[in-house]
Chain A
Amino acid sequence: MNPFNYQRTTTPEEAVHAVSARGAKFLGGGTNLVDLMRYNVEQPTTLIDVTRLSFTEITTAGNTTTIGAGVRNSDLANHETIRINYPLLSQALLSGASPQLRNMATTGGNLLQRTRCYYFMDTAFPACNKRTPGSGCAAIKGFNRNHAILGASAECIATNPSDMNVALVALNATIHVTGPKGKRTIAIADFHRLPGNTPQLDTNLHPDELITAVELPAPKFAKHSYYLKVRDRQSYAFALVSVAAGLEMNGNTIQSAGLALGGVAHKPWRSLDAEKSLAGATAGPEAFKRAADLAVAGARPQEHNAFKVELAKQSIVRALTLAAQGVQA
């Protein structure tokens, strides 16, 4: 790990000013950043600890709920409002990492999790366009079982590893940020990027901007949602494929749907076509299979991950079925 300076800030203005220094980065729970520093993948000159800022509350005003960026993943998953109104988010959060890591990781940090592509995380592989732009992609001709099947480019086939992000996309969250030019909001669907020819950029957040909060719109899927995570072992593993499914039901008719996939793309993969096809449909295998086909339309698997296409389709059908049943009571 390279030497770095450590700075603790108590106001967002101070934090934003401090991060303008060359090579400076914000430090949240550290579960991803400190790990990557130990691999020498991340080499910040300064860490600006933002965990003591006052962004640690979850508040509800009118129909919307606002989550402070510093709220720890375990506190978010277990907050009464989230459990009752947004169980999809609770379930997704609790599907990720381990209890210890969830006690540390923050909401803002989870949004900025970097890929778990082995070629990105291991500096012994010189080729990684995400780590070293222009160096190539070792994964495309390498072992790419865990990699993207949707939205990838010739320069990067990495996936976003977060479970929380997938649920936030299905829930249509909004990200609040602050920077030197003031505050702005970013729709979650526009927050993460596809790799294109700039895979070094995971998100549309500017380097000098600080995430302050995540806003959830009025709950629509409180009674009918499910986060299904399929992985190589039962717990404490990243998704091969995951599905965040939310249904707004009237009897057996679907009024509206939120559907996003994890483990398949550089960003949480939302299919508006699939969501539209579900709206107005009768809940059942026919509608769910149609939505599944639409959600993975255009999939282009790599050498070792063709299985993900069928796995994603079947996982979507299963997640929608469980959501419609209202399994969570």
Chain B
Amino acid sequence: MSSKTCIDLDDQLEDTPSEQSNSLTDLELSRRTFVKTAGVLSAAVATGIPHLAAAQEAQAAADTTPQTLSVTLKVNGTSHALSLDTRTSLLDALREHLLLTGSKKGCDHGQCGACTVLLDGRRVNSCLTLAVTADGAEITTIEGLANGDTLHPVQAAFLEHDGFQCGYCTPGQICSAVGLLKEHKHNTLSTVSFETGNTATPELTDNEIRERMSGNICRCGAYPNIVAAVRAAAKGVSA
């Protein structure tokens, strides 16, 4: 990444409507400034390393100017008209533009599941979803699961069974579990279903839950309680 690209990207992130910028805390702004500075420094170090010839492709890419497109995101039942750089992930659109910071950025590479949201009812990694591709789609985030003060049954089950420690992965875990229960209602399979030979109507055993939740990593290791919460939610509700 060239230093120019770093700056463009950060400028883009900061280029939000003023009322949204105002709601950012000082802490948030100082974090931004730090990230920006660190980005420029590391880019300067990187340019010192001769980087043979990805040259041509890199040049074509460098010659491309940023493109901004109008995108309508329907999030938790409300439509938002946004103007977004094509590089913006759905996760960044939710967090930085709509200030829905429940969905978390863990790895930003589709490896941890902290960013999991429901896109047209299906669980996806919002970090690898370009926001422009979600134009017109119905998106449900952790903020949209409860009905007023009444928690979604999966949220209630996570509380009841203490399915978290630090809580950072929890919004993704819960959105993933909501997706899991919906998938299971349609008799979807997992690899465990094949191992047990139960490929007609797979029962949601603990092994099935573990496999079906494997896209969500918990560094605190709250897995036993997460499995208990999903098991309870599966039994207790039609979710």
Contacts and interface: CB of A to CB of B under 8 A. Distances in A.
Nearest to A52: B133
Nearest to A229: B191
A100 interface: yes
A102 to B, nearest CB: 9
Contact of B132 (A6, A104, A132): A6
Interface string A89-109: 011001101111101100000
Contacts of B130: 6, 27, 30, 34, 47
Interface residues of B, number: 60
Interface string B113-124: 100100100111
Question: What interface size band does chain A fall in?
Answer: 35 or more
A235 B191 contact: yes
A226 B51 CA distance: 44
Contacts of B58: 2, 43
A234 B192 CA distance: 10
Contacts of A38: 108-109
Contact of A126 (B49, B89, B183, B215): B49
Contacts of A74: 122, 183, 188
Interface string B56-83: 0110111111110100000000000000
A-B complex: 8 closest residue pairs judged by Cβ atoms: A98-B215, A43-B61, A2-B61, A235-B214, A3-B66, A6-B86, A23-B60, A236-B214
10 contacts: A3-B86, A27-B130, A35-B109, A43-B60, A45-B61, A45-B63, A94-B191, A103-B119, A104-B125, A104-B128
Interface of B: 1, 5, 8-9, 49-54, 57-58, 60-67, 69, 85-87, 89, 108-110, 113, 116, 119, 122-125, 128-130, 132-133, 176, 179-180, 183, 186-191, 193-194, 197, 199, 210-212, 214-216
